[in-house]
Amino acid sequence: MTQSRSLQKTLGIGLTLGAILLWIMAISGAILVSQNKLNELFDSALAETAQRIMPLAVVEIMNRDETGLPQNIMSFETHDEPLTYLVRNRSGKILLQSHNAEPSIFNQVLLEGFNTSGTHRLYGAWAVQKTIHIEIAEPLSQRKAAITEMAITLLWPLILIIPLCFIGTWAFVHYSLRRILIYRNEIESRGSGDLSPVSVTGLPTEILTIAEPVNDLLDRLRRALESERSFTANSAHELRTPIATALAQIQRLEKELPEGDSKERAFKIEKTVRTLSNLSEKLMQLAKAEGGGLFSNEQHDLTSIIQLVTDDLRRSSNVKIIEYFPPESLGIKSKIDPDAFAILVRNLLDNAIKHGSQNQPVEIHFSRQDELRIVNAGNIVPAEHLAKLRQRFVRSKTTAHGSGLGLAIADAIVTGIGASMLLNSPATGRPDGFEVVITLSDS
Ligand X SMILES: Nc1ncnc2c1ncn2[C@@H]1O[C@H](COP(=O)(O)OP(=O)(O)O)[C@@H](O)[C@H]1O
Contacts with Mg ion, residue ranges (CB under 5 A): 351, 402, 406
Residues 248-267 vs ligand X: string with x where CB under 6 A? --------------------
346 contributes a contact to ligand X by CB under 6 A: no
382: preceding bond cis by omega (within 30 degrees): no
Residues 6+ apart with CB under 8 A from 319: 352, 353, 356, 358, 361, 362
For residues 133 and 110, what is the distance between their CA atoms, to the nearest angstrom? 7
395 contributes a contact to ligand X by CB under 6 A: yes
Half-sphere CA count of 322, side-chain side, radius 13 A: 9
Question: Looking at 133, 355, 365, 373, which residue binds ligand X (CB under 6 A)?
Answer: 355
Q: Do residues 116 and 140 touch, judged by C-beta distance below 8 A? A: yes
For residues 233 and 229, what is the distance between their CA atoms, to the nearest angstrom? 6
Alpha helices (runs of H) in 4-95, residue ranges in sequence order: 7-62
Shortest Å, Cβ 181 to ligand X: 41
98 contributes a contact to ligand X by CB under 6 A: no
Alpha helices (runs of H) in 177-260, residue ranges in sequence order: 178-188, 205-256
Pick 88 or 373: Cβ nearer ligand X: 373
Pick 376 or 443: Cβ nearer ligand X: 376
Stretch that binds ligand X, among 82-90, 136-144, 214-222, 389-397 (CB under 6 A): 389-397
351 contributes a contact to ligand X by CB under 6 A: yes
Shortest Å, Cβ 342 to Mg ion: 15
Would you tell me the crossing angle of helices 140-155 and 7-62 to the nearest 10 degrees? 150
Cα 169 to the center of its chain, rounded Å? 17
438 contributes a contact to ligand X by CB under 6 A: no
376 contributes a contact to ligand X by CB under 6 A: yes
Query: Quick one: which of 408, 375, 189 has its CA closest to 285?
Result: 408
Q: Which does 368 bind (CB under 5 to 8 A by kind): ligand X, Mg ion, none?
A: none
16 contributes a contact to ligand X by CB under 6 A: no
Question: Looking at 50, 378, 414, 421, which residue binds ligand X (CB under 6 A)?
Answer: 378
224 dihedral zone (left: phi>0; alpha: psi -120 to 50; beta)? alpha
Stretch that binds ligand X, among 21-29, 63-71, 201-209, 403-411 (CB under 6 A): 403-411
Q: Do residues 143 and 38 touch, judged by C-beta distance below 8 A? A: yes
Instruction: For 436, list phi and psi in degrees, rounded to 5.
Output: -115, 125
291 contributes a contact to ligand X by CB under 6 A: no
Q: Do residues 269 and 228 touch, judged by C-beta distance below 8 A? A: no
Stretch that binds ligand X, among 122-130, 143-151, 236-244, 347-355 (CB under 6 A): 347-355
Stretch that binds ligand X, among 31-39, 180-188, 198-206, 391-399 (CB under 6 A): 391-399
The footprint of ligand X on this chain (CB under 6 A) covers a number of residues equal to 19
Shortest Å, Cβ 374 to ligand X: 7
Shortest Å, Cβ 426 to ligand X: 11
403 contributes a contact to ligand X by CB under 6 A: yes
427 contributes a contact to ligand X by CB under 6 A: no
Q: Which does 403 bind (CB under 5 to 8 A by kind): ligand X, Mg ion, none?
A: ligand X
Count of residues in the chain: 443
Q: Which residues pair with 386 in a beta bridge?
A: none
89 dihedral zone (left: phi>0; alpha: psi -120 to 50; beta)? beta
Give the pairing type, strands 113-116 and 94-97. Answer: unpaired
Stretch that binds ligand X, among 199-207, 215-223, 298-306, 394-402 (CB under 6 A): 394-402
404 contributes a contact to ligand X by CB under 6 A: yes
Q: Which residues bind ligand X (CB under 6 A)?
A: 351-352, 355-356, 376, 378, 381, 389, 395-396, 398, 402-408, 434
